[in-house]
Structure 1
Amino acid sequence: MSLRSIGTRLTLWYTGILSLTLLLLGLSAYGLLHYSLSHDIDASLSGVARIIAERVQKEGRTPFPPDVEELFRRFFGFAPANPYFDLLNPLGHPPSGPPPPPPHLPINPQALVNARHGVATFETITGIGPYPIRVLIQPVVERGQVVKVVQVGISLENMYQALHRFVLIMAAVFPLGLLLAGGGGWLLARRALRPVDHMTRAAQRISAEHLEERLLETGAGDELDRLARTLNEMLSRLDESFRQVRRFSADASHELQTPLTILKGEIEVALRAPRSPEEYQAVLKSSLEEIERISRLVEGLMLLARADSGVLRLDLKPLELHRLLAEVAAQMQRLAAAKGIKRYLDHLEPVTVCGDREHLVRLFLNLIDNAIKYTAGGGRVTLSLHREGSQVRAS
């Protein structure tokens, strides 16, 4: 399993994010559990202290240990091994009468001050046993005065053991969950990327000679299906471009072959035997005409190449189109006369247009050259120019 694989990286990212999520959820759950247990302990201590204070007010005596254990069992749901209970006067000393059974817990002076003002105080005491002790100092008020102070406490052993068990459970479940989630993520990634493998193999079979092949679309309409559709559209454009290039190459080869064949034949005939100067001059004139045709063809090919590459620039200027057409017709007079074709200017209406002179000359030269080429000897080529609304028609 390579790290360069998208499926592997997706699995690692998924597992990493899930690990962070589970860790945050575990920490949040641990914090909420700690808060909930602490809140329940404080509420239970408040209930025990309230009942003891009520009994002291009604009966005027200190509850016996069995009574205290029953109160702890009632509020906590179990009887703690060592419940802590003290009944003190507002100064923190034991009152007259039998003292509560040991052990006795130290009392914070600030808690006594709060109790004398009628405020209950919670505190956590450490250093007495292996676990901290949660303590409540609750004042007993009679007729608006604090007459006694109830101190109750319980070891946090059960709470810490519950938190410890929670951590052990999370430590066991966390790796198992990651293993299952990572395996499932890897399988899902492989299944989701399977169409990509199919497209890769199909794309490897496609070459310039087999551009008609297409990638298979699943029809699901998802991102991979849209990718396959986009690639197929690109292949269609490439196929059409290659077809145009082949047609262009075939047409260019055919167009170049004719003047080159004529040029080669005339030169070979002229070299077979000595010729008079007039005959050599005729051959050279004919060769020059063919070279001009080749030159125009090459210029046309270069023009098409520049147009396809997007670097064609037009020098647009006002032009008298009728004069330009007459000049081009005059240039082609010699070629028409060589085939016995009469050139006839039907009607050249004076027209001014904004255009590129060089490209318009090349356009008219090609049109007239084709007209002369495909007109039988002794025929006639007619040129005309006239307006048609906002357009100009040359024929």
Structure 2
Amino acid sequence: MPVAVIGMGCAYPGAWGTDELWELLADGVDAIGDIPESRYDTEEFHAPDPGTPGKSTSRRGGFLDGLAEAIGPDAFPAEEFGVEPREIADMDPQQRLLLLTARAALRDTGLPPGRHAGSRTAVFVGQSHSDHWDALRDRGLDTLDLDSFSGSHQRGLLAGRLSYAFDLRGPSVTVDTAQASSLVALHLAVRSLRGGEADMALAGGVSLVLGPAANVMLSRAGALSTDGRCKFGDATADGFVRSDGAGVVVLKPLDRALADGDRVRAVILGSAVSNDGRAKDRLTDPSREGQAAAMRWAYEDAGVVPGEVAYVEAHGTGTRIDPVELGALTDVLGEGRPAGHPCLVGSLKTNIGHTEAAAGVGGVIKTVLALEHGTVPPSLHFTTPHPAVDWDALPLVVPTRSQPLPSQDGRPVIAAVNGQSISSTNVHLVLAQAPRTPGTGHRH
């Protein structure tokens, strides 16, 4: 059963909203900057040697401008979301940001506010860490209370906040599969709609870089870029850069969306999730076999020949994962592909960095926008193709300038989004352009 994307909302570095995100992508903007002093003292935690205990090599990241103005205690519209004023101080900023993003996604459907109250609408959202809880705990156990517990300690409250705020009565689940969290959340939302346990779904994820701990650990593991750039697929790729982000999409079964007169922005044809199991030496290693399995299962689920895929939004971190991911794509997407039809492949992370639990949904939003505009925006920092990738085997092409999506002889263009995580979880989502019918406009 195809599932329609009928609304989208996002907040990523350099882009509060999907229109700003597309402008950033089309213009080839690199939104990475220095870590703000309001987050933590970078000088205290910085050292050029990645092996320095307690230090990070990175002073850069992707950050939301105006975050405090949007979700600070004096600015956040607590009453609108059913939040008591006393709760705000202990409430994880990730909860606040996701509430605003979900509201934007619901507004994007064109339906009146409150239209979905009391409905069988599901919520599946990803979260993989909570710097805010770490700060509350370190403040002292004698300062913790029920607001700390519900506002930050219990990650399950992230999904619950959205269901409560908008009075949504379907399943409500917080997903943590590390960096694949939001894309797995979309997969689960699609399954929930197909199974009939929900009539509509909100799916997405959120991540805010508020403290130094993860930067220190990732730096010592050699995962962070020394120059603050995600150089996906490039020979000089040396790591990623951590970033803020939040994204939410509103989903509905396609036949119901068309019958209701909703604007269909794109269609999810299928998806799949796999785990690497023992198909590698270490738990945290990537697996070409594991990623290829998720891809093949997703195309089977979608009823799509892999060779028909015109564009893939890769996980694309700019790390040792790249050759493994590109190898899996080569293994799968060559099946049934006509000669002379390369597949474009890019990464949002080259523009905004790695938003971790919000990365997958960001890739979906980028892909929906590309399908709507008929254009794939450039992937940044790609100059010398990585020598460990057999670029001629498929071939795969990383666009360094905007390129039109290949024509499909009048059929909707097919695209995909790939994700994986340090938890060994792999996920693949298959999308198509919205059907060109009279029923795809906004209903008022």
TM-score bin, normalised by smaller chain:
under 0.3
TM-score by length of 2: 0.17
Greater helix share, 1 or 2? 1
Report which structure shows greater RCO (CA 8 Å, sep ≥6).
2
Rg larger for: 1
